[in-house]
Amino acid sequence: MKALRFEQHGNPDVLSVQDVATPAASPDEAVVKIMAASINPSDVKNVAGRMSQTTLPRTPGRDYSGVVVEGPPAWADVEVWGSGGDVGFTRDGTHAQYLVVPVAALRRKPVTLSHEEAASIGVNFIAAWCGVVEAAQVQADEPIVIIGLGGVGGAAAQIAKRIGAHVIGVGRGGAAHPSVDGWVNSSAEDAVARVRELTNGGAAVVFDTVGGSMFETALPMLAVRGRLVEISATDRRQVTFDLADFYHNESRLLGVDTLKRDLVASADLMEALRPGFEDRSYVPPRIAGRFSLDDAQAAYRAVAAGTSGRVVLIP
């Protein structure tokens, strides 16, 4: 089969398409023919050498959608989707024509999604689900502030909206996400004061998808006993805050790392997400570009440049 490979870290030029052995399934595994696989910023970071757990040589890629071509008879020819924090790092990933996965990780693709759309869900929506549902345990009618309405933030807004929470987005500029009930333009107004006004004193949850320099802005947005969820340290790892203010407010600080969820753990999260796509509460992201494996270097460069929308490979 054809697979995208890298044997050393660097810019996308280190990627090449190689002929490798098509994987075979053990009794507890299945082989999936990849119909589409998206490229995440973490895939670009992986190739660049910013993921310390990666072993080389490696096929990158975390998210996929495809068809089972080998495995238990009950799964034959079934359309499936998936993702995993180990895929593309310590086991070969999805940027190839075929992928071997544990049978326990097989989950049916939502019928409402194309393969390209289904391949664009995993990393972003899993991070959002882990932050909104698992870590913060957002409830109906609670005010949640989402800082950064990119891939993860947009997914988080949809998940929180489906729960019935009151969603406020914070970002630069005046364009609000369709899933938010209120919008704060952080480049034109005092974001903390505006959030506290919109939430009548503070948010039950702040989901900060930016991290780093936004931490000091996010923390004072919390109501008493509010929960702050952090998933990134975009521009700096070290932050400071007033510890007395923190404990007087009885604030909670929660971290989420989706790389801790392997294929099987991620499969349960994908299954939890499926009803939202099938009843169309969740809207898949826009596909910004489609590339063959032979054009994968250009696809990786597009993601590295911050292309708006999702970039997918069609093996």
Q: Do domains 2-121+284-313 and 124-257 have the same CATH topology?
A: yes
| Single pTM value for the model | 0.95
Q: Domain 2-121+284-313 falls in which CATH fold?
A: Quinone Oxidoreductase; Chain A, domain 1 (3.90.180)
Domain boundaries of the chain, sorted by first residue = 2-121+284-313, 124-257
Dihedral (CA of 258, 259, 265, 270) sign: positive
Looking at residue 49, its pLDDT comes to: 96
CA distance 75 to 299: 31
Nearest to 207 by CA among 282, 149, 140: 149
Looking at residue 173, its pLDDT comes to: 87
Q: Collect the ranges in the chain with pLDDT lower than 70.
A: none
The token pair at 245 is 């203010």
The token pair at 182 is 């209120």
Looking at residue 203, its pLDDT comes to: 98
Contact predicate 303/39, CB 8 Å: yes
Superfamily per CATH, domain 124-257: Medium-chain alcohol dehydrogenases, catalytic domain (3.90.180.10)
